[in-house]
């Protein structure tokens, strides 16, 4: 084995933006289909990569919270279909007592006949939303949220600080749960009742998470995060206008690009122009902000493989919506068994490459000097 190839497989943490690009690609892929077989494949790929490439850092255990949240989303959507889907025709599974509503709520029925079509519709929609949520949870479990802030350009520090704090809520809670449970095991005493134990754990976790959030905010403020630099008022107004216009244009262009009915002549020029406006706004905004970064994260071959595999999954699923959209959204009326085609399956399996072609994550405990 050559030294370069051996160095490639040395355990290290990948660039956080690579994991986020991989997860966003899977999220786009999940948003293009309601096929439970494809959504199950996406969930399997995300889970496999997380289990194989997450570190022993406390935020890596947050993936379990997203899985539980996804299961709750599916359950809530199915329950809503049972409560409000009594008017949908189809194969009746069970008849519940129907509650009459006043004329103001005409067209809405409470309970009534529960059909297989209504349950499958709620299950498909809930599974798609849960898959998107779990894919974002995979990025939170694999990427260090503090390193993600360090990778942001200077102009985006004001926005990225709030974004990083927001997306690190679940990792912070998971870290607090681990710390509180470890402290409770070391504390002598009898066995508490389940309700009182749950109350003490919840209060301790919320208090610990709040204290750590305040410490993080204070440390970021002391290091100059959120400063605007030496910029004139005209530059500030111009950069803000460019960034707002670019953000709005990117939202419109991305929506038109993902919507199969939108004209291609509108989507591409709007998206390109919005990206150009955003780049100009970022350049103007970061003109007066200077910062240094100790040991900046670099993009290497493993990062390119990770980001490219996730983006390939999203692109191939988007391409399938124009080539063979029937297999992406199985029919509910009439009921049909979900079918698979080779193109979306190949795109989803491509997102599995980080589990085999990237180095393992470096363990925090092993990297900490004694």
**Cα 209 from Cα 167, distance rounded (Å):** 14
With a pLDDT cut of 90, the percent of the chain lying above it is 25
Identify which has the larger pLDDT, 192 or 356: 356
Question: In this predicted structure, which of 188-197, 261-270, 314-323 has the lowest mean pLDDT?
Answer: 188-197
Identify which has the larger pLDDT, 280 or 209: 280
pLDDT in tens, 311-339: 999 999 988 888 888 888 888 888 888 88
User: For all residues of the chain together, what is the average pLDDT?
Assistant: 79
Q: What is the mean pLDDT of residues 78-104?
A: 76
**Cα 35 from Cα 131, distance rounded (Å):** 12
Domain boundaries, the chain: 10-151+296-370, 152-227, 229-288
> Which ranges of the chain would DSSP assign to H, the alpha helix?
3-8, 16-31, 36-53, 63-84, 116-142, 145-150, 157-167, 169-186, 194-222, 233-258, 264-285, 301-323, 342-350, 354-357, 364-367
Greatest mean pLDDT range, 122-131, 252-261, 272-281 = 122-131
Identify which has the larger pLDDT, 39 or 88: 39
Q: What is the mean pLDDT of residues 67-91?
A: 85
For residue 287, what pLDDT is reported? 67
Lookup: tokens for 44 = 């399997």
For residue 124, what pLDDT is reported? 93
pLDDT in tens, 241-250: 887 888 888 8
pTM, two decimal places: 0.74
Confidence of residue 195 (pLDDT cuts 50, 70, 90): low
Residues sharing a CB contact under 8 Å with residue 209, sequence separation 6 or more, in sequence order: 169, 172, 173, 176
For residue 28, what pLDDT is reported? 92
Half-sphere exposure of 175 (CA within 13 A, CB side): 20
């Amino acid at each position: 084995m050559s030294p370069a190839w051996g160095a490639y497989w040395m355990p290290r943490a990948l660039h956080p933006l690579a994991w986020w690009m991989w997860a966003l690609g899977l999220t786009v892929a999940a948003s293009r289909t309601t096929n439970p077989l494809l959504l199950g494949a996406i969930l399997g790929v995300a889970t496999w990569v997380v289990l194989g490439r997450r570190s022993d850092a406390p935020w890596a255990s947050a993936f379990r919270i997203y899985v539980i949240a996804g299961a709750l989303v599916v359950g809530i959507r199915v329950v809503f279909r049972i409560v409000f889907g009594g008017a949908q025709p189809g194969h009746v599974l069970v008849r519940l007592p129907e509650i009459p509503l006043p004329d103001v709520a005409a067209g809405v029925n409470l309970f009534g006949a529960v059909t297989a079509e209504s349950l499958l519709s709620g299950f498909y929609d809930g599974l798609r939303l849960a898959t998107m949520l779990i894919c974002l949870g995979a990025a939170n479990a694999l990427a260090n949220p503090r390193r993600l802030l360090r990778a942001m350009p200077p102009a985006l520090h004001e926005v990225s600080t709030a974004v990083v704090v927001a997306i690190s809520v679940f990792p912070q809670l998971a870290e607090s749960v681990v710390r509180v449970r470890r402290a409770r095991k070391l504390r002598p005493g009898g066995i508490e009742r389940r309700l009182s134990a749950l109350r003490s754990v919840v209060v301790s976790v919320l208090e610990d998470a709040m204290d750590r959030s305040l410490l993080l905010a204070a440390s970021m403020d002391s290091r100059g995060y959120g400063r605007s630099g030496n910029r004139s008022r005209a530059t500030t107004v111009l950069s803000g206008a460019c960034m707002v216009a670019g953000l709005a244009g990117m939202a419109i262009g991305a929506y038109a690009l993902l919507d199969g009915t939108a004209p291609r002549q509108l989507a591409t020029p709007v998206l390109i122009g919005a990206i150009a406006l955003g780049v100009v706004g970022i350049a103007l905004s970061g003109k007066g902000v200077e910062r240094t970064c100790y040991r900046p994260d670099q993009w290497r071959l493993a990062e390119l493989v990770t980001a490219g595999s996730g983006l390939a999954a999203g692109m191939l699923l988007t391409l399938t919506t124009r080539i063979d959209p029937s297999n992406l959204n199985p029919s509910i009326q009439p009921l049909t068994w979900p079918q698979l085609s080779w193109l979306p399956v190949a795109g989803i399996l491509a997102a599995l490459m980080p589990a085999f072609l990237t180095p393992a994550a470096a363990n925090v405990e092993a990297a900490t000097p004694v």
